[in-house]
Amino acid sequence: MTTKNINSWANYDAESSLYFENYNKVYFSNVHRQFVSFLPKNSKAEVLDIGCGSGRDALSLARRGYQVTAIDPSIKMLELAQKKNKHRNIRWLNDSLPELSKLTHNTYDFVLMSAVWMHIAPWNRNISIQRVSELLKAGSRLAITLRIGDPDPKRLMYSANLEELLQQAADADLSPIYISRENKDSLKRKEVTWRKIVFQKKERSTSL
């Protein structure tokens, strides 16, 4: 991973308490209401939360009965999340895209990437989406929130657009099954809107 990618998480370590407080002002059911109907029907399903941040979403998913692996590259954020969101269904890991090297033989029924994509450097996005696809079982789903707006100068992030993401996902055998309109920011930042996208991993046909 490049130095720039590592530095993109430095601000989360430096101001972890502030981000933790801000992200927990809103609820999973509000922020991700469009995703709820796409969650696995099996309450014991394996779910991966990439960029779990404050742990808000991981905890909500665990309370639904899912077995959750929650990953974040910020050690400080992960420490706070683990301390404040104790649940037997959550496994916490310090790891990051594009490698996710600590996930060796795992595959998942659902993957959530909330407010993550803008932190992935453009030159790492193809390999990142390929890696996520590898972690999905055939027919399983990936839910992504895509930030629309100028990058925040306080945090290292990059512009992203829907068309680019759709092409990168297609190259990784991921088909869009839901694309939202632009949504207002849940933290009431007027300069930021979001698109919510759900992809499904293609089932590979077997030839006789």
Nearest-CA neighbor of 96 among 69, 123, 71? 71
Per the prediction, the chain carries an average pLDDT of 89
Q: Which superfamily, per CATH, for 1-13+44-148?
A: Vaccinia Virus protein VP39 (3.40.50.150)
Which tens digits make up the pLDDT trace of 29-84?
Answer: 999 999 999 999 999 999 999 999 999 999 999 999 999 999 999 999 999 999 99
Report residue 9's pLDDT band, with 50, 70 and 90 as the boundaries.
low
Show the tokens assigned to 27.
Answer: 């609820």
| Poorest-pLDDT segment among 97-101, 120-124, 152-156, 192-196 | 152-156
Report residue 7's pLDDT band, with 50, 70 and 90 as the boundaries.
low
Quote the CA–CA distance of 112 and 35 in Å, as a whole number: 9
Q: How far is CA 48 from CA 3, 83, 89, 135, 159, in A?
A: 25, 19, 12, 9, 24
The answer to whether the CB of 47 falls within 8 A of the CB of 115 is no
Which tens digits make up the pLDDT trace of 81-97?
Answer: 999 999 999 999 999 99
Nearest-CA neighbor of 24 among 1, 48, 47, 58? 58
The residues pairing with 113 across neighbouring beta strands, listed in sequence order, are 50, 144
User: Side-chain half-sphere of 69: how many Cα atoms within 13 Å?
Assistant: 20
